[in-house]
Amino acid sequence: MADADLDAVIRQLAKQQNKTILAAAKKRRDRFNGMAVKAKDKDAKERFKMLAREAFEQAGAAARRLLLSADNAADSYARAMRQAAAAELPKKVEKKAEKPADKAPAEAASPKASRAKAGKANSGKSSSKAKKKPAKKAGS
């Protein structure tokens, strides 16, 4: 099974889980029906029979949802694999050979170095956030 397609494996596992769910539902239904037989009053018998029907019905619905989800997942996987197999490989762009003389020095290219240089150049100047003196009003 090592070389099997994963979509087939997904479907197979879902079928196994479906069988397990239905077997457990049948056991639960039989248990409730047994309790209905042992019940002493009519209301209790009806309640257990109703529980047996509901338990089996809900388990059947869960099993159907499981199979549908597994089928959707398997179909999606198979479709993705088909699309991946049909897709073209991206073309690699060959880089042009750059001359070493055209390259700038590593210090000038790095952002940290340029910030450090800018910080040294501005160290003697006053900061732009310096307080300004209010202008005098004319006519006072």
Q: What is the pLDDT of residue 66?
A: 95
pLDDT digits (tens, 9 = 90+) for 41-81: 999 999 999 999 999 999 999 999 999 999 999 999 999 98
Give percent of the chain with pLDDT exceeding 90. 51
Q: What is the pLDDT of residue 1?
A: 45
pLDDT band at 120 (very low <50, low <70, confident <90, very high): low
Mean pLDDT (the chain) is 80
User: Residue 27: is its pLDDT beyond 80?
Assistant: yes
CB atoms within 10 A of CB 43: 9
Note whether 21 and 63 are within 8 A (CB).
Answer: yes
> Within the chain, where are the H helices?
6-38, 42-86, 106-109, 111-121
Q: How many residues does the chain have?
A: 140
pLDDT band at 139 (very low <50, low <70, confident <90, very high): low
Rounded to whole angstroms, the Cα distance separating 136 from 68 reads 82
Exposed, middle or buried: residue 32 (CB in 10 Å: 0-12, 13-18, 19+)?
buried
